Chains A and B, each alone.
Chain A
Amino acid sequence: MSDATTHRQAGAGHNAAPDLLELYRGLVLIRRCEERLSQMFSEGEVPGFIHLSIGQEAVSVGVMAALTPDDTIASTHRGHGHAIAKGLSLDGFFAELLARETGLCKGRGGSMHVADMSVGMLGANGIVGAGLSIALGSALAHRTRKTGAIAVAFFGDGALAEGLLHECLNMAALWKLPLLFVCENNGWGEFLPTSKQLSFALKDLAAAYRIPHLCIDGNDVALVADHAVRIVAEVRHGGPRILECLTTRVRGHFEGDAQKYRDADELAALSARDPLRIAAGHLAELGFDEAALGGIADEVEARIDVSVEAARAAGFPAFADAMADVYTPAQGAA
Chain B
Amino acid sequence: MAEMRYLKAINQALTDAMAADPSVILIGEDVSEAGGAFGASRGLRERFGAERVLDTPISEAALAGAAVGAALSGLRPVAEIMFMDFTTLVMDALVNQAAKARFMFGGQRSVPMVLRTPHGGGLGAGPQHSQCLEAWFAHVPGLKVVCPSDPASAYGLLRAAIDDPDPVVFVEHKGLYAMKSEVPDTLPILPLGKAATLREGRDVTIVAYGAAVHTAMTAAATLADEGIEAEILDLRSIQPWDEQAVLASLAKTHRLVIVHEAVEAFGVGAEIAARMADIGFDELDGPILRVGAPFMPVPFSKGLENAYLPSPDRVIDAVRRTLA
Contacts and interface: CB of A to CB of B under 8 A. Distances in A.
Interface of A: 72, 74, 96, 103-109, 113, 115-118, 122-123, 125-127, 130, 132-145, 147, 151, 163-164, 167-168, 170-171, 174-175, 322, 325-328
Contacts of A113: 104-105
Q: How large is the interface on B (under 10, 10 to 19, 20 to 34, 35 or more residues)?
A: 35 or more
22 contacts: A72-B73, A103-B106, A109-B106, A122-B69, A126-B96, A127-B96, A130-B65, A134-B66, A135-B69, A136-B66, A137-B67, A137-B77, A141-B75, A142-B73, A145-B74, A145-B75, A163-B61, A167-B57, A171-B59, A325-B102, A327-B142, A327-B144
A264 B25 CA distance: 53
A72 B109 CA distance: 14
B72 interface: yes
Contacts of B9: none
A134 B93 CA distance: 9
B166 A328 contact: yes
B103 A326 contact: yes
B118 to A, nearest CB: 22
A134 B62 contact: no
Q: Please name the 5 residue pairs, one residue from A and one from B, whose CB atoms are nearest each other, closest first.
A: A133-B65, A137-B69, A137-B66, A167-B62, A141-B73
Contacts of A327: 102, 142, 144, 166
Contacts of A140: 54, 66, 69-70, 75
Given A115-B105, A117-B108, A127-B96, A171 B69 contact: no
Given A113-B104, A134-B68, A171 B109 contact: no
A136 B103 contact: no
A145 B54 CA distance: 14
Interface in B52-88: 52, 54, 56-57, 59, 61-75, 77
A138 B113 CA distance: 13
A147 B70 CA distance: 13
A144 B75 contact: yes
A96 B165 CA distance: 25
B239 to A, nearest CB: 10
Contacts of B51: 143-144
Nearest to A74: B69
Contacts of A164: 61-62, 65, 92
A107 B70 CA distance: 25
B166 A130 contact: no
Contacts of A74: 69
A138 B73 contact: yes
Contacts of B72: 117, 122, 134, 137-138
B97 interface: yes
Contact of A167 (B61, B77, B97, B107): B61
A174 B69 contact: no
A141 to B, nearest CB: 4
Given A117-B72, A144-B25, A171-B59, A325 B65 contact: no
A168 B62 contact: yes
B188 interface: no
A325 B69 contact: no
Contacts of A127: 92, 96-97
A140 B54 CA distance: 10
A133 B68 contact: yes
Nearest to A142: B73
Contacts of B68: 133-134, 137
Contacts of A171: 56-57, 59, 62-63, 66
B191 to A, nearest CB: 11
A145 B71 CA distance: 12
Contacts of B75: 140-141, 144-145
A103 B69 CA distance: 22
A325 B59 contact: no
B96 A325 contact: no
B110 interface: yes
Given A123-B101, A326-B142, 13 more contacts: A104-B108, A106-B106, A108-B103, A130-B96, A134-B72, A140-B70, A140-B75, A141-B74, A143-B51, A144-B52, A171-B57, A322-B103, A328-B165
